[in-house]
Structure 1
Amino acid sequence: MASTAANLSTLFGNQVNEDLMVFVDDEHSLGVCRAAASDLGASTDAIQDGGIVEALNRIEPGHSPKKVVADISRSLDPEADVTRLVRKMGPTNHLIIIGTSNDVKVFRKMIALGAQDYLVKPLTAEDFVDAVDHVDKAGAAANTAQSGKLTVIIGVRGGTGASTIATNLAWIMANEERMTTALLDLDLHFGTSTLSLDVESGGGFREALENPHRLDKLFLDSAITKAGDRLAVLGTEEPIEEFVDVNPDSIDTLIGEISQDYSQVIVDLPRHLLPTQGALLASADTVVLVSDQTLAGIRDMNRITQAMTSLSTKGRIVRVISRVGSERVAQVAKADFQKALEEPAQYFVPEDGKTVSVCANAGKAVSEVNMKAPITKVLREMAADLSDYEEPKKKGLFGLGSKKPKKSKKAKG
């Protein structure tokens, strides 16, 4: 067990152990867990009284311990509480439930809701330690098997072309880099990903977001639309007059399922969802902020960058300036724009209205329409950067070859 298990962090006014926290509802279980804490390399401060209700009060989205053990014995609605806790913890953390019922139906229900194990009282130190160790080993195996990278793309202003960039990056990763890729368009009323790729919207995306406890591989497959052998698209066009009740934590559950089957996950996140998606942003490998080259773009790029810090985003932040060109009005000079940003932009995507218009009308990606356009070159470089793609060795004389050096991450102009 990592030594960080004994370190406590103050988050939202509460002390939360980074590796393991236990919340139990009776003195016997409290004593057993505290006695066994040293065997797990954990502090006794990580063992708390109060059961799952206390766990729900203490844990905030994006700030969950890696493992949580929660007692449901005194819960008035155990299934609802477990569902809420799983959502708060996110897809990369693990939950063990303690209860009084020895019914296999209860065990199966807890597993279906997202728990990794279910322990029956009276609790023994051996059962407790074995359950936590088993979750550790299972988590390590899953991390080894899963190579999925999560990229979240946000347009800091409307009309910056963030959705066009997200769609084309996903297409390039799937078709040119040959990686299994999933594209999630979270603009549920006005999303354009399925339209841009000329595919039908899946039927179950909304239900998956409203009822994450129902998610399994079969259900997910019914919501996915395939846009080729390696590209899966999750998008929808919900009636404008209907409110979609998306649980703030359901997106993390969805991505946890998708990441098991796809090496690259691209999320097109509308900026109005930022306040509810702290856990998603905290778990992203990369957050791409897309702006136009305007004064308002500078302001909003800096504001959202500051928000990323307060949301404890651990991944890399990539700044992209889109729709750059001499025909664009009200643009700030590139040097002035870079100077005004808290951190300089890494990519400048040129305006190419002709190519983008042809793509929109044909339902094709930019690379399909114009392979040699400047916009295509920048999008390919960005895709390789985000996915860690390296071109395969090219065989030369006598079968010898050399690997192409990975492209620089300096600002593209």
Structure 2
Amino acid sequence: MMRSAPQSAMDANPAQLPARDEHIAPAPRISIQAFCESVETAAAVQSAGEDRRLAKAHLKIQMGGMTAATEAYRSAPTPNVIILEFESRPEVVLAGLDSLAEVCDPGTRVVVIGRHNDVTLYRELVRRGVSDYLIAPVNTLDIVRSVCGLYSAPDAKPVGRILAVVGAKGGVGASTVAHNVAWSIARDLALDSVVTDLDLAFGTAGLDYNQDPPQGIADAVFSPDRIDTNFVDRLLSKCSDNLSLLAAPATLDRVYDFGADAFDAIFDSLRATVPCIVLDVPHQWTGWAKRTLLAADDILIVAAPDLANLRNAKNLVDYLKASRVNDHRPFYALNQVGVPKRPEIKPADFAKALDDDPAAIIPFEPQLFGTAANNGQMIAEVAGSHKVADMFRNLAQLTTGRSEAKKTKSSLFSPLLQKFRKNA
């Protein structure tokens, strides 16, 4: 009937929001049907269905609990996952599961939600093949964590984490920030990473890393039927021991109009093999750009200190916070701060408008950035001890929730970073 091994231990006190560095891997394209007995649980399941990590799942909710489930599947196939809530006595529940087993298809996984914190009951549920048991009341993330956990085997490789970097306005240096942060993630945190340049017409990642690969992301997005982990891996250009590049062609011989899900298979393939994926997202509001930001694990918005950037950054932060209620709010960094004779909006005013302090305030350093860009180098390669290089290192730690691979004096910032995450 159901999967025989439990996916998680019984938890008498469901967690609220996950820790900053908790990573819940997205579920694959599955069907889920929930049979609830309380409106509170139905609301939590409905909210979970709207979470980005269940974006590919097809969810249907029905009231009636165990009785409704047994009746529903007498003449219909069962979905990939059944969520059952019960408020009855344990013996009634176990009898109901025995009845459900008679009409349940092989391979269907069952998550049970109940109010009895009873080890004996839990063991009986496991013996009957229940995949997970949650103690009511449950919240949105309890459901997301449980369903996604069904498809994350304990011995499987962790699913890669995606950081999307986008500019609040064109020309604010978002690509430069993305490339330097990715470099620091790979070098300072010793984390295998891939930079994916999504600006297919005008992307600069190849120039910034001094790479001119013959293949890149265009070969994947225009060949959706060929996409798998091996195919995407062959398209990567190696930049350093831990950093690879999925480059943009940066040519104008064709137009790059894509559907909203055009990059999904590419991202899924990268997630399966690479711990960290940094997306260099161009400043545009298309279906695929919006989908990319909503599906990312973390988001870094780069803004210059002027009014248009302030407006756009606030719009982005407000929209993404409202659309990703179960995720950490987007980070933002101010770039090109301190241009001589240019009137600028102060960081404090940005912080007030966005209700959050900037993750970094990067000064205007034309000589440093210009030299790095023209040489195809990162800031740390041009001036490793410069304060700007330290800023990119701190951004790498903050956006990944990790400390440096080798302890250095910069670890003194750890208490500050932990305080920032706690208050975020």
Same fold flag (TM > 0.5): yes
Q: In structure 1, how many angstroms separate the alpha carbons of the residues matched to 2:264 and 2:172? A: 26
| Aligned counterpart in structure 2 of residue 200 of structure 1, from 202, 212, 217 | 212
SS at match of 1:41: strand
Q: In structure 1, how many angstroms separate the alpha carbons of the residues matched to 2:226 and 2:246? A: 16
Matched, 1:366 2:408: no
TM-score of the aligned structures, taking structure 2 as reference length = 0.65
SS at match of 1:126: coil
Q: What's the counterpart of residue 408 of structure 1?
A: 416
Greater alpha carbon shift after TM alignment, 281-290 vs 269-278: 269-278
User: Deviation at 1:147?
Assistant: 4.9
Matched, 1:287 2:302: no
Matched, 1:21 2:59: yes
User: Deviation at 1:343?
Assistant: 3.0
User: Deviation at 1:176?
Assistant: 2.3
Q: In structure 2, how many angstroms separate the alpha carbons of the residues matched to 1:291 and 1:393? A: 31
**1:2-401 correspondence runs (5 A):** 5=34, 6=36, 7-8=41-42, 21=59, 31-32=73-74, 40-42=82-84, 125-127=104-106, 129=108, 139-141=151-153, 145-312=157-324, 314-327=327-340, 329-392=342-405
Distance 1:253 1:270, change over 3 A: same
User: Deviation at 1:325?
Assistant: 1.6
Q: In structure 1, how many angstroms separate the alpha carbons of the residues matched to 2:240 and 2:260? A: 30
SS at match of 1:125: coil
Distance 1:246 1:42, change over 3 A: farther
Greater alpha carbon shift after TM alignment, 335-344 vs 123-132: 123-132
User: Deviation at 1:35?
Assistant: 8.5
1:210-242 per-position Cα deviation (integer Å, ceiling 9, x unaligned): 343321122112221111221111122243252
Q: In structure 1, how many angstroms separate the alpha carbons of the residues matched to 2:215 and 2:291? A: 26
User: Deviation at 1:372?
Assistant: 1.8
User: Deviation at 1:371?
Assistant: 1.1
Q: In structure 2, how many angstroms separate the alpha carbons of the residues matched to 1:339 and 1:22? A: 41
Greater alpha carbon shift after TM alignment, 382-391 vs 275-284: 275-284
Distance 1:11 1:136, change over 3 A: closer
SS at match of 1:378: helix
Q: In structure 2, how many angstroms separate the alpha carbons of the residues matched to 1:270 and 1:142? A: 36
TM-score of the aligned structures, taking structure 1 as reference length = 0.66
Q: Find runs of 4+ consecutive structure 1 residues off by over 6 angstroms.
A: 1-4, 15-20, 130-138
Matched AA of 1:240: L
Distance 1:182 1:202, change over 3 A: farther
Distance 1:173 1:324, change over 3 A: same
Distance 1:306 1:161, change over 3 A: same
Matched AA of 1:190: F
Greater alpha carbon shift after TM alignment, 157-166 vs 344-353: 344-353
User: Deviation at 1:360?
Assistant: 1.1
Matched AA of 1:293: P
Q: In structure 1, how many angstroms separate the alpha carbons of the residues matched to 2:81 and 2:279? A: 40
Identity %: 22
Distance 1:130 1:229, change over 3 A: same
The alignment yields a C-alpha RMSD, in angstroms, of 4.0
Query: Greater RCO between the two (CA within 8 Å, min separation 6)?
Result: 2
Distance 1:10 1:275, change over 3 A: farther
Distance 1:238 1:359, change over 3 A: closer
